Amino acid sequence: MSRDSHVFDATAAQYDLWYESPLGQAADDIEKRLMAEAAAPLMAQDTLDLGAGTGQLSLYLAAQGARVTGLDISGKMLARARDKAVQANLACLFLEADAAALPFPDGSFDVVTCLTALEFFPYPADALAEAWRVLRPGGRLVVGTIHRDSAWGEAYRAMAGEGDPIFRHARLFGRDKLASLLGASRPSLSEGLYLGPDARPATLAEALRQDDEARAQGAPPGFVVARWVKPGGRHQVGGDSADWLPSVPVPSGDGPL
């Protein structure tokens, strides 16, 4: 199993409460924008969102024109995602399945995304190998995860140590460990979320302003996005033929996971 379905079924009803706080809204906004930028182009792209949960990223990508299939191990999470899709009048397909055994043929998708879910996969390398298999040539695999070596990573490790029902199952990644999960294929990286978990902004606008200030003051990023591009020559993307360049190597220097 890619995640323990019982853990996430039990928290499905409360899961979206985080996104109602200004800090949660800001973190969600920053993370989704970084994911969408790395996944682009999105218009009319067949997109698979792994660990879709309650559909936060799936619905965001669908609103930008992607044809989205959201996949998760938790049926109760997906039930909420389906309700939200109906409310937003967005056409997303949500499937209950294991990320380590995807029920799709090779080369089914232009984009595969995974936002803050890889941390909970018992076999993350296997899940990424499956994601790579279902990508078409020129397709993008985009994985966003909490940065282990950040204030957010420290906070989540503390929560795990206190027995938090979700984060006690998490494994956080540093840059090098994340970049190594597909073996010799190396991703390009982008980063964000400089605002710390102890911030208490009153509004979303204030939270985003504080994030800009924290970045200017040199705070380390709390969120990292890895983008792999599958080789295969020229690939039809969004109606235009495009040449895909090799991914930029990731500098070494990070410590172990």
Kindly list the structural domains of the chain, giving each domain's residue range(s) and its CATH number in brackets, ordered by start: 5-229 (3.40.50.150)
Two tokens, residue 147: 């940065």
Gap between the Cα atoms of 25 and 20, Å rounded: 6
Mean pLDDT over all residues of the chain?
A: 85
183 or 36: which carries more pLDDT confidence? 36
pLDDT value at residue 1? 37
- Residues sharing a CB contact under 8 Å with residue 53, sequence separation 6 or more, in sequence order: 8, 15, 72, 74, 77, 81, 117
pLDDT tens digits for 198-225? 999 999 999 999 999 999 999 999 999 9
- Note whether 181 and 252 are within 8 A (CB): no
Give this prediction's pTM: 0.85
With tokens 């993307």, the residue in question is 237
Amino acid at residue number 65 = G
pLDDT tens digits for 1-18? 344 555 555 565 566 788
Two tokens, residue 49: 């969102």
Q: Could you tell me the pLDDT band of residue 180, with boundaries at 50, 70 and 90?
A: confident
- Note whether 16 and 54 are within 8 A (CB): yes
